[in-house]
Amino acid sequence: MLMYYLGLARRSLRRSPVLTGLMVLAISLGIGASMTMITVLHVMTDDPLPGRSAQLYTPHLDPLPLDYKRHEGSPDPADDLTWPDAMALLKAHRAVRQAAMSGGSLLLRPARADLHPIYVSGRYATAEFFPMFGVPFERGGGWSAADDATGSPVLVLADALARKLFGTSDAVGQTVRLGEHDFRVIGVTADWAPKPLFYADQTGTQYSDADLFFLPLSVAMDQKFPVSGNQSAWGKGRSPSLTSANMSWLQFWAQLDTPAQVAAYRQYLVDYSAQQKALGRFQRPPRNAKLYGLMGWLAHENLVPGDVDLQLWLALGFLFVCMLNIVALLLAKFLRRGGEISVRRALGARRRDIFVQFGIESALIGVAGGVLGLGIAQLGLWSIRQRPDDYARLAQMDLSMLLGTVVLAVLASVLAGLLPAWRACRVQPALQLKGG
């Protein structure tokens, strides 16, 4: 039966090639535009660390005074931790693994004479950063908690920077001059850059940034290395230092493997806040302390820029207009076939059969539109990749998006065909037959 309907649909569509072409073109334009923007949104909200993200959490405290007022558009100071809080959480060691971190940009003077001095951005972190995030190493490895404690001048390089500085020779054991200090390279990471760079401060361009070096946070503090990212201070008094209890600037991540551990850690954060409140440091309710999962944190940060949102809505609105168009055209097309419908009904076809027949005809338009739409979406994504935005280079379709395109096209065209098909199957056969 299905083959018969497909045959009927094909014949009907061939009978009016211009109209069919118009409908296929309309649906493919709508689908192409929508899928371009859906793909952009998909890559922007994708899991940066598949397989690990479910165990990663970031704790947040609320050390702000009761009367603190945030300026419109400025970042929330409670998004980051203060130095005393981060150190307390590290010392308590309540999670399986935990690390405090912050970004920094340092002047690098290459030993090779043919390389100019450059600024490189990287991360100051504590030892468990590497095992917690599962950073893969090409050579060597990360540093130990003992290195953190003693402030050893050790350095982990990203493979890109290691290759630039030392070519193909082994970077481990070499010395690199950062700022005005010499560091010993103890590890080189394999190609690793989560997109977005979820653990970075929210002021950066998180889709194009990658850390080129990693060094112990304690060393950065000892050497007074510059910190990049947002530093929010509050309260009165002289300008705060990085170790001040009134300035937040550190990011903190913890690995929690079971729901029980998550619940326990959440309780620990509330208890810690209550204790700080009792000591008079915190003023706000201890329940303000939060523990975000990785994907929850990304949702909270809302990294998708307004322009992308606007463009997605535009594309979906455009698809809707295209669908309206197809509804009107299909309606005209189906109703014109009153004679054919009546003959089939008189020969014993049920209403349901007529409905299915026209449904299949709509779906066929959808398939053709989907295939053409795929081409248009690829064109759209290519144009997105030419943009200067930091997410632009990520705009590529994966398999799920490819399938999604065709599914969406068929869905849209079947949806558009519902009303015309329903109207068509309600045609009174007797009236039409007499008239013909």
Identify the bridge partners of residue 188 per DSSP, sorted by sequence position: 139, 157
Residue 331 contacts another protein per CB under 8 A: yes
Residue 30 contacts another protein per CB under 8 A: yes
Amino acid (one-letter) located at 346: A
Residue 318 contacts another protein per CB under 8 A: yes
Tokens 């449904």 — which residue? Answer: 359
Element (H, E) at 130: helix 129-133
Distances (CA, A) of 318 to 28, 34, 40, 311, 315: 11, 8, 17, 10, 5
Minimum distance of another protein from residue 336's CB (angstroms)? 6
Q: Which residue among 387, 400, 426, 428 contacts another protein (CB under 8 A)?
A: 387
The DSSP bridge pattern shows strands 175-178 and 232-233 to be unpaired
Q: Which residue among 92, 190, 264, 328 contacts another protein (CB under 8 A)?
A: 328
Which range binds another protein by CB under 8 A, 187-195, 241-249, 313-321, 341-349? Answer: 313-321
Residue 390 contacts another protein per CB under 8 A: no
Other CB atoms closer than 10 Å to residue 377's CB: what's the count? 25
Residue 117 contacts another protein per CB under 8 A: yes
Which of 299, 251, 230, 224 shows the shortest CA–CA distance to 129?
251
Minimum distance of another protein from residue 331's CB (angstroms)? 5
Helices 351-385 and 306-336 cross at an angle (nearest 10°) of 150
Residue 23 contacts another protein per CB under 8 A: yes
Which of 214, 255, 209 shows the shortest CA–CA distance to 229?
209
Minimum distance of another protein from residue 9's CB (angstroms)? 18
Q: Which residue among 60, 195, 290, 333 contacts another protein (CB under 8 A)?
A: 333
What gap in Å lies between CA 282 and CA 206, rounded to an integer?
A: 31
252 to 311, contacts with another protein by CB under 8 A? 306-307, 309-311
The DSSP bridge pattern shows strands 154-158 and 181-189 to be parallel
Which range binds another protein by CB under 8 A, 89-97, 383-391, 397-405, 424-432? Answer: 383-391
CA geometry: angle at 429 spanning 423 and 430, to 5°?
Answer: 140
Nearer to another protein, 30 or 122 (CB): 30
Residue 35 contacts another protein per CB under 8 A: no
Residue 109 contacts another protein per CB under 8 A: yes
Identify whether 196 is preceded by a cis peptide bond (ω within 30 of 0). Answer: yes
Residue 327 contacts another protein per CB under 8 A: yes
Residue 170 contacts another protein per CB under 8 A: no
What gap in Å lies between CA 386 and CA 417, rounded to an integer?
A: 37
Residue 19 contacts another protein per CB under 8 A: yes
Minimum distance of another protein from residue 313's CB (angstroms)? 9
Nearer to another protein, 34 or 58 (CB): 34
For residue 331, what are its two tokens? 């309606």
What gap in Å lies between CA 305 and CA 309, rounded to an integer?
A: 7
Rg from Cα positions in the chain:
30
Minimum distance of another protein from residue 375's CB (angstroms)? 15
192 to 211, contacts with another protein by CB under 8 A? none
Residue 26 contacts another protein per CB under 8 A: yes
Residue 43 contacts another protein per CB under 8 A: no
Residue 191: CB partners within 8 Å, gap ≥ 6? Answer: 159, 160
Minimum distance of another protein from residue 128's CB (angstroms)? 32
For another protein, the binding residues (CB under 8 A) are 18-19, 22-23, 25-26, 29-30, 33, 107, 109, 116-119, 306-307, 309-311, 314, 317-318, 320-322, 324-325, 327-329, 331-333, 336, 387-389, 419, 423, 436
